[in-house]
Structure 1
Amino acid sequence: MILSPIDTVDDISKAEFLEKYFKPQKPVLIKGFAKKWPAFDKWNLDYIYQEAGDQEVGLYDNKPADPNKATDKPVKYMKMRDYIKLIQREPSDLRIFFYIITDKLPELLKNFSYPDLGFKYFKRIPTLFFGGSEARVLMHYDVDLGDLLHFQFEGKKRVLLFAPDQAPFLYKVPLSVHTVYNIDYENPDYEQFPALAYAQGYEIFMEHGDALFMPSGYWHFNRYLEAGFSVTLRSFPSSPTRLLNMLKEVFVIRNTDKIMRKLFKKKWVERKQRKAFEKSQQALEHHLSKQK
């Protein structure tokens, strides 16, 4: 992988953000952006422990999804308070995925304000994500194709970002929003995944209060370096083309994959893995031939 540092700012105006990052669809890290919120001191695990400790939450781990089960099925359930105590006490790969604040912890919505950066937020689903110090999230892009403003709290996190045009080098799985399961992005094996060596992206280290703008369709891999959580604010699709692509992703491609997975289980998963390798190998050969 060819990883570059990301543009990093301590503050940014709406005009500058729109001109330099939103319009050209370029990511940027805004350091300590959440510290502007009047109730910033409530964005911590202790507050969530107090307010949502009795809730039962579904947990995921680093293992690949069981091909005989739905991909969104949690590996276990636990009280929120027990989960928070666990990740604060010891290393863990357990994480909480897509915790919708408006449904489960609406009080938290009083503790921040949507940044005025010039794009329209989808305010129905601001979402939280939690992870222990060993948790990682498979390389993927978000199926709704929205522009994302992603805030990190408590522990540090490493993020890898790749533009949509880098997908051919990432071993994208057909009819899916993720790459093959067995790539180790912390220690990539370029003999097994030669195309990956040519993927150009960004490496970002996020800390408490930082915000990362991820443009629509950007691939991202998250690795929690310490126990922590994040909130993602999403935008509406900003063009008719993107809206149509989103509808296709959500209602056609996603459901087709679910049906095929249910019918053929492991055989379907293995077939998609093979196709991912074939496509990336073709992309690599094409890339190398152009360099001659």
Structure 2
Amino acid sequence: MYMKLNLTEIPRVKTISKEDFYNNYVKTQKPLVIEELTTDWPAFHKWKLEYIKDIAGEKIVPLYDDRPVSHKDGFNEAHAEMKMSDYINLLQKEPTNYRIFLYNLMKEVPVLREDFKWPDIGLKLIKQLPMLFFGGEGAKVFIHYDIDYSNILHFHFHGKKQCILFTPDQTPYLYKVPHSLISREDIDYDNPDFDKFPALKEAKGLICNLKHGEMLYMPEGYWHYMKYLTPGFSMSLRAYPIRLSSLFKTGYNLLIMRHFDVVMRKWKGQKWIDYKNERAIVNTHKNLKI
């Protein structure tokens, strides 16, 4: 039985004061789309794929696709490499699963730093160079939550991108894989199989479509699934978690969980990956008495 998820539109504003943003969204940990936060940035007018190709076309960039997690993969290990100009040509020519993920292009091309402004919006942003993300039409970023529980300002440029979020309290319905930050990779969040994954019927999520220059605020620990509706790219700015519980979870993820998972992959190989995927179903159905 294939049905749609229970999704509600994320609220939108054109602009907002930093006091209202912090009090009504950061403190309450509710997502928001701000439509006109970037209109006074040079990036708003310049950041198109052709511009990136012109200034960074010769750079060799790491590419990721949607293949299942393997015990042979290193942490954030790329699946392929390509010149940026060739990659953008591919994006503009046809749909592709290849994505650029968490890439520090500004380190390679410092002129990009002049194109954006650190927004004064009530969050103490981590002043490291922002990471960029690129994808072609139909490319998907598998559902996950971030290891460091950051509050994220996610800006999109060139085209449209769909974002589906789930609050942390929806985790029991999402078939979380133990000792990791992801759900089962065989779940199609565009067209979920409720016979195979019945707990998803209980999940309540949030959705928005970002256009050029729009920003999505994602609170700490939120699950997010991204789909490029057209070729485009995004930039994320991050702020430390504000909740003490999130800081403890961050420490656990970075100091214990990640290293434990690496050791188990080396020891058990693919059996460890298969075991975790099986436990995702068993644990979810057991906890919900399905």
TM surpasses 0.5: yes
Report the counterpart of residue 189 of structure 2 in structure 1: 185
Give CA-to-partner distance per residue, 1:209-262, whole Å, 9 cap, x none. 110000000000001111000000000232444333212211211111111112
Report the counterpart of residue 46 of structure 1 in structure 2: 50
Decide whether the 8 Å contact of 2:221 with 2:246 is kept in 1. no
* Structure 1 Cα separation of the partners of residues 55 and 159 of structure 2: 20
| AA of the residue aligned to 2:180 | S
Q: Residue 70 in 1 paired to residue 66 in 2?
A: no
* Structure 2 Cα separation of the partners of residues 254 and 125 of structure 1: 24
Report the counterpart of residue 91 of structure 1 in structure 2: 95
1:110-259 matches, within 5 Å, as: 110-259=114-263
* Structure 1 Cα separation of the partners of residues 181 and 129 of structure 2: 19
Give CA-to-partner distance per residue, 1:50-79, whole Å, 9 cap, x none. 111111111111221233332522221101
Report the counterpart of residue 105 of structure 1 in structure 2: 109
| AA of the residue aligned to 1:35 | T
Q: CA deviation at 1:37?
A: 1.4
* Structure 2 Cα separation of the partners of residues 39 and 160 of structure 1: 25
**DSSP 3-state at the match of 1:50:** helix
Q: CA-atom RMSD, angstroms?
A: 1.5
* Structure 1 Cα separation of the partners of residues 43 and 239 of structure 2: 23
Report the counterpart of residue 33 of structure 1 in structure 2: 37
Task: Specify every segment of 5 or more residues in structure 2 that has no aligned partner in the other structure, as ranges.
Answer: none
Structure 2 CA distance for partners of 1:239 and 1:198, relative to 1, 3 Å:
closer
Report the counterpart of residue 63 of structure 2 in structure 1: 59
Aligned mate of 2:26, from 22, 26, 30: 22
Decide whether the 8 Å contact of 1:102 with 1:124 is kept in 2. no
Q: CA deviation at 1:101?
A: 4.0
Q: Residue 285 in 1 paired to residue 289 in 2?
A: yes
* Structure 2 Cα separation of the partners of residues 29 and 242 of structure 1: 23
Decide whether the 8 Å contact of 1:146 with 1:237 is kept in 2. yes
* Structure 1 Cα separation of the partners of residues 42 and 79 of structure 2: 37
Q: CA deviation at 1:119?
A: 1.1
Structure 2 CA distance for partners of 1:144 and 1:238, relative to 1, 3 Å:
same
* Structure 2 Cα separation of the partners of residues 52 and 39 of structure 1: 15
Report the counterpart of residue 290 of structure 1 in structure 2: none
Aligned-pair identity in percent equals 43
* Structure 2 Cα separation of the partners of residues 74 and 254 of structure 1: 18
Decide whether the 8 Å contact of 1:141 with 1:177 is kept in 2. yes
Decide whether the 8 Å contact of 2:15 with 2:34 is kept in 1. yes
Structure 2 CA distance for partners of 1:107 and 1:29, relative to 1, 3 Å:
same
| AA of the residue aligned to 1:5 | E
| AA of the residue aligned to 1:197 | K
Please report the TM-score for the alignment, with normalisation by the length of structure 1: 0.94
Give CA-to-partner distance per residue, 1:11-58, whole Å, 9 cap, x none. 111111011101000001112322231442121111211111111111
- How many residues are paired up? 286
**DSSP 3-state at the match of 1:185:** coil
Deviates more, 1:9-18 or 1:275-284: 275-284
| AA of the residue aligned to 1:251 | L
| AA of the residue aligned to 1:212 | L
Report the counterpart of residue 289 of structure 1 in structure 2: none
